Each structure stands twice: as C-alpha cells, then as structure tokens.
Amino acid sequence: MDRNAFAVLCDLLQTHGGLVDDGHVTIEEQVATFVNILAHHNKNRLMQVRFIRFGETISRYIRRVLRALLNLQEVLFAKPTPIPEDCTESRWKCFKGCLGALDGTYIGVTVPEVDRPRYRTRKGHIATNVLGICTHDLKFVYVLSGWEGSATDSRVLGDDVTRANGLKVPTDYTATSRNWNDNEEDVLLTILEEMVVDGVRCETGSFKAGTFVMVATKMREMILSINIEPKHIQNKLKRLKEKYSSAYDMMNTSGFGWNDEKKCVVVDSDDVLQLWVMKHPNAYYKPNKPFPLYPRLCTVFGRD
C-alpha cells in the first residue's frame, strides 16, 4: 500500500468509521498494525516487537479498526445500477437490466489444527470460501465471508439468500428501464432546453430538486399515451450524461473532431484512439458512432 492510499484509508476510518486517536495510540499506528496483520498474516507477537506494544493492546486496537472498517460499507460498497436499455457497449448490451455478477473465491486462512479438515479445499489448500458480487465496472456491492473452504459455491449462495439479513436482490430497478423512441427523446430534450433557459439547472450542471417530476408531468401532457415516471427521466438523463461526457472528453482531446454530416465524433488515427481508450476503459461512447443528440446535450448539461 502506497502512502497516499494509506492516508486516504486513515482519513476515511476517522471521518466516516468513527476511529479516534485516544492519546495512547495514533490512528496511523492503529491502521498500520491492522494492515500488517491482515495483508501479511503477521502474528500478534511480531506486532508486539515491531510497535513495542503489549499483546492485549494490539488486540484491542485491531478490534477498533475492524469495527470502524465495517462502518465504511456505505462508502466503500457501490450502489448497483442496471445495464440500460440503450447500452451500445458490445460487452454489456446483451445483459440489459443486469445489476451485476457473483462468484465465489478462496482466501487463505490460518485455523487451529482440529478445524483444518473443514477448511481444506478440493485442491488441498486451507481457505475460506467468500462470495462476492460486483457491478459491470468491477465495483463490489456485496461480500459474504466465513464459510469453510470445503463448502461448495451453491451451498454458500443457498445459505446467503435464506438468511434474514442476507442477500436481497432489488426488485424496483426494472421500473427504471424503458425503451425510448426518437420522438420521446426529442420531447425530453426540448423540455430540458426550456428549463435551462428558465434557470432550473444549477451552476454545477445538475438540475434542481423536483426537476424529474416536472419533466415527467410535461411529457405526459405533450405525449398523451406515454407511461413515464420521474425515475425513468432520472435514469435516462444519467445515461445520456455518461455518454455525453465521453464524447465531450474526446472533443477536448487532440486528434478528435466532430463530423457534422455523420453526426458523430471522429478520430485522426487508431493510435490516438487506443491511447484514449486506455485512459477511459469504461467510456459509454466510442467514436464513429452516430450521436445526433450531442449538440443539444451541450446546452442541457452546460458545456459549449
């Protein structure tokens, strides 16, 4: 762990996790002790020598850091969002509405000799079977640890979904996904452009509270047969902004330009494109693909 990452972790544990400097052991020393034991499997006795502390002191502060770390779950765990209906990425467009992926992995542990048979994996390693769930951009949203290495993935998952506080798959995400036609998109942007003129948008480029409700109401008035809710507007705008931001970054990078005839971003060479993709692997827009909404989105999101 480099110094910057260590400093960020200490700050998070202090500001969000509730870890305190009690005047006896600094926060930095508490976290350093915890990381040494967790990452390098160092024993309490070795930490006593390195930090010149009693064994009881080491154990007490390890528990404190662990409690503070558990309080960071709202900060460290991502909130899952479904793959949108208008997704064009070749890797994800077949998984529209998907929230994430789950799998089990083995993490080596040290256990008493009597417990070794239960923790021995099919390959003979002593480990615990950990269930992890992450989003399509590899951000963890759920982790379950504690099962013995001899347990199968299906058994771990079966136990997890039956627990009172176990894995719960959200059921309200499907309501945020809908298919938009060209006319609906045109009406949506027309309403937003008028709101920008009226000063509804904040200086940061985001819209003020209640905007999605107003937009949904106006769309129902302009398209009588439409079935739309504020969360549909919110989800659509989020995806449009992600796609627009990628195109905007390209337009402000040397080697990219706008083709007004094809209504898309173009690039001078493959080398320029490859370099940009390496820096933006999760971009929601790729050049040479028609993006006729881009000029209007410049007005909606506040960039010229």
Whole-number Å distance between alpha carbons of 26 and 105:
34
Q: Which residues contact 88 (CB under 8 A, 6 or more apart)?
A: 285, 286, 289
Per residue of the chain (304 residues), give pLDDT as tens.
788 889 989 998 998 888 999 888 999 999 999 999 888 878 888 888 889 999 999 999 999 999 998 888 777 777 777 887 777 778 887 887 788 899 999 999 889 999 999 999 999 999 999 999 998 888 888 899 889 999 999 899 988 888 877 887 766 554 456 778 889 999 999 999 888 888 777 666 677 667 888 898 999 999 988 888 888 888 888 888 888 888 898 988 999 999 999 899 999 888 888 888 888 777 778 788 889 999 999 888 875 4
8's CB contacts (< 8 A; 6+ apart) are none
CA–CA–CA angle 67, 68, 71 (5° rounding): 95
The rounded distance, in Å, linking the Cα atoms of 244 and 17 is: 35
Beta partners for 129?
106, 147
Position 228 scores a pLDDT of 87
Instruction: Give pLDDT, residue 274.
Output: 84
pLDDT number for residue 75: 78
| Bridge partners (DSSP) listed for residue 265 | 258
pLDDT at position 150:
92
In 139-269, which residue ranges form alpha helices assigned H by DSSP?
153-162, 182-197, 211-222, 230-251
Q: Which residues contact 11 (CB under 8 A, 6 or more apart)?
A: none
Residue 237: its pLDDT value, please?
Answer: 87
Rounded to two decimals, the pTM is: 0.47
Domain extents in the chain: 3-75, 93-169, 178-300
